[in-house]
A and B are shown apart, each in its own frame.
Chain A
Amino acid sequence: MKKELLSGNEAVARGAYEAGVTFAAAYPGTPSTEILENTAHYKDHIYCHWGANEKTALEEALGACFTGARSMASMKHVGLNVAADPFFSASYLGVKGGLIIVSADDPGMHSSQNEQDNRHYALAAKMPVMEPSDSQEAKDMVIEGIKLSEKFNTPVMIRMTTRTCHSRSAVELGERETPPEIGYVKDFKKTMLLPALARPKHVAVEKRQKEIKALSNQFKFNHIIEGKTRVGVIASGISYQYGREVFPDAWFLKLGMPYPFPDQLFREFAQHVDKIYILEENDPFIETFVQLEHTGKEIIGKEVFPLTGEMSTDVIRASLGEKDLTLKFDLNQIPRRPPTLCAGCPHTAAFHNLSMQKLNVTGDIGCYTLGALPPLNAMDTCIDMGASITALLGMEKACEKAGKELNAVAVIGDSTFFHSGITGLLDIIYNKGKTTVIILDNSITAMTGHQVNPGTGLNAMGEPAPRVDIVKLVKDGLGIENTYEIDGYDVKALKEIIKREVKRGAPSVLVVRRPCALLFKGAQWSSMQVDTSKCIFCKLCTKLGCPAVTPGTEKSHITPERCIGCTVCAQVCPVKAIRFVDENGMHIHDTTLEQFMTIKRGGKK
């Protein structure tokens, strides 16, 4: 059998392929993004697309499964909040073709605003949930999940975590199953959720959960591993791997499907041990079920192990008082390295202006959230996808009522705008808001690694796709008269228009455009350079937060291998000491900004 090192996300995609899945939809979000990207490698067999958001993606997968197609929707944990509505409906509706819903949780918040434990969703929606502990299991659980889904007429949730998504381990590759025949057949009672039809469905769901619970006691991913002592460990997900290292001689109850909880299997396990450690990341999910069994054994769970952050062998040992995690080399004595907006980021000039004009800024989710960090300090709020617009409208109305002034703008990226920003604009129009919204349009979903979106002109399978024009959508579609398109590198134009629109007293939308700088790295651009004879070392250029521009000891310095020549630093320089170097880096040009823009910029507009 062929073995390959796959990440958990690649393994989920492979599992979908082998299980005979023919439809997959998702919205990008770390750590889930590569699931759909890799599923798209099987595009000859599996139709793949990015939804505008997680809700649309899950609804599309549900619709596909109504035709008999085996389907999969994947998203990050907070994405499931957006998709919660169809998620709950899907449990009552059940499936025709198997349906897998992947939630990739982020314990430790590597790239998220919270670390919610989405196993609670499975419990609340009464849906089985599986937790792979490595890539092999991730693949196998998708295949088994499709079978379970079709057998019990239920969607199946797979809870990944950052460590299972982004760890690579060996996976045995198998053959693809032949997908079932696909074709929509009217089945009113099956696919409608009118109250009269939903009531018997709820009864059926409760019955189904009992049946799955019975199965869970013999389920292939729930099993007992014999130990040499009277110590037992119950573990799920990646915590199982940590547990095997810390407790090499213990009995293990490995729960690949923690809900419905396999009560009989647990009782059998409990007979062999006196003391039970429960290893799970975030909430005491398994622990709650264990406590309900009242075995009288000593149970060691979240009273000892942390509710916050990731689990690890070190965390387990430290929680048990077996390892001192005080660092021999104190990391507080060295500088942090926070992520930053990239050199040449087309959002920098906008944030620079917001910062200089000392505006209040409601922010949103994406790379540009980094505009909140020093030296830009140009963002005050970050709530969830789309909330920049709606939170600002709320602030505005509250201040208006109280007769208080509010100098504020909302800032949102293009993908976030497509995801959840449009409805916020509707609220502004309908409720006579006066809000100014800046849409930073780099024509791609950049933070998660450059996924295409409705504004890109390409789809998830790499085919040309219609491109939604944000300016047209806002101006002609929603009727916001004061909609303007501005070049993201044009510092002066941005300054003037932001100043004017904040005071307008009517809704306005500024679409600030430039493709993501990373897409053009090393392509056709060149570098800026400081003319040290002119630099007065006012450090204004370094306040852009551009990683290429640093204060030297006496003069500003630009690192050529990082600079892409966006000219923003040159524009903010009060003495015109920053100029542009040609490709050979040989001499300083006197090319004007306008010439530079037309000659050097090959990017989409």
Chain B
Amino acid sequence: MKSIIISGVGGQGVLTASDLLSDVLLEEGYDVKKSEVHGMSQRGGDVISTIRYGTQVFSPLPSLYETDYILSFEKLEALRNINYLSKDGVIMVNDYVWEPLPVAAGFEKYPENIEETLKKYAARVIMVPATDIAVELGNIRATNVVLVGVLAANMDIAKNIWVNVVRRKVPPKFIDLNIEAFEKGYKYKL
């Protein structure tokens, strides 16, 4: 059984990404369970979705130090979940800073050298300028599909399954944009 965490800030599209991922895993023939966060936390708070897959999955929640992949939409949120990563785990991080309110208001400091800190706890750290890529493609909201592309590149599931699910799940007028976003992310294979 394997575990994946997708983390980010409310409004970044974490749940859409975890929906895409769980559809891919289901199509691949796995038993899949996924947990989500709704309600108050979605108002600019930290958001996390966990996915577990294998032949038979019981808990939808991963345990500390036992998660195989973490995909984070924001740097600080990567750090917040690093304790879940297993010692052989891979963490893929959007190289993007979204200051939380306590930082923006000057009460607390945004951590420095996040990439270095992550490297102390992770076997592999992949930094991707996903938001910049999405903005270049003309729509910041495609950030999540760029990141899904990064995850796809680093997991052992055929690319066409991912592409088909992306095609099926995104609104028709955004298919081209999202396929392009996926392809850009897919280049970040370690």
Contacts and interface: CB of A to CB of B under 8 A. Distances in A.
Interface string A331-357: 101111111111000000000000000
Contacts of A337: 9, 44-46, 76-77, 80, 100-102
A5 to B, nearest CB: 6
A309 interface: no
Contacts of A244: 58-59
Contacts, number: 160
Of the candidates A31, A169, A373, A375, the one having the most CB atoms from chain B within 10 angstroms of its own CB is: A169
A168 B44 contact: no
B115 interface: no
Contacts of A3: 26
A255 to B, nearest CB: 16
Contact of B105 (A5, A31, A375): A375
Interface in A239-274: 241-242, 244-245
Contact of A110 (B39, B43, B63): B39
Q: Which 5 A-B pairs have the closest CB atoms?
A: A30-B39, A111-B39, A339-B45, A337-B100, A335-B108
A340 to B, nearest CB: 4
B32 to A, nearest CB: 6
Nearest to B22: A5
A242 B39 contact: no
A374 interface: yes
A550 B99 CA distance: 9
Contact of B35 (A166, A245, A341): A166
B10 A168 contact: no
Given A5-B23, A242-B59, A547-B104, A167 B34 contact: yes
Contacts of B172: none
Contacts of A335: 76, 100, 102-103, 108-111
A310 to B, nearest CB: 9
A187 interface: no
A163 interface: yes
B64 interface: yes
Nearest to B74: A337
Contacts of A334: 76, 79-80, 111
A387 B37 CA distance: 27
Contacts of B100: 335-338
B44 A342 contact: yes
B41 interface: yes
Contacts of B39: 30-31, 110-111, 447-449
A329 B83 contact: yes
Given A111-B40, A169-B57, A561-B140, 8 more contacts: A5-B26, A163-B61, A313-B63, A339-B10, A339-B42, A339-B43, A370-B40, A447-B40
A5 B36 contact: no
A118 B34 CA distance: 25
A415 to B, nearest CB: 14
A555 B58 CA distance: 52
B13 interface: no
Nearest to B121: A329
For chain A, give the interface size range.
35 or more
Interface in B97-124: 99-111, 117, 121
A303 to B, nearest CB: 23
Nearest to A242: B59
Interface string A527-551: 0000000000000001001010111
Interface of A: 3, 5, 7, 30-31, 33-34, 110-111, 134, 163, 166-170, 238, 241-242, 244-245, 312-314, 317, 323, 325, 327-329, 331, 333-342, 367, 370, 373-375, 447-449, 542, 545, 547, 549-551, 561
Given A168-B22, A328-B121, A545-B105, A339 B44 contact: yes
B2 interface: no
A367 B38 contact: no
B106 A370 contact: no
A251 B35 CA distance: 27
Nearest to A345: B43
A5 B42 contact: no
B106 A551 contact: yes
Contacts of A545: 101, 105
B63 A5 contact: no
B88 to A, nearest CB: 15
Contacts of A340: 43-45, 101
Contact of B107 (A110, A163, A169, A374): A374
A110 B36 contact: no
A167 B31 contact: no
B140 A312 contact: no
Contacts of A312: 59, 61, 63
A373 B59 CA distance: 34
B44 A241 contact: no
Contacts of B150: none
A550 B107 CA distance: 12
Contacts of B57: 169
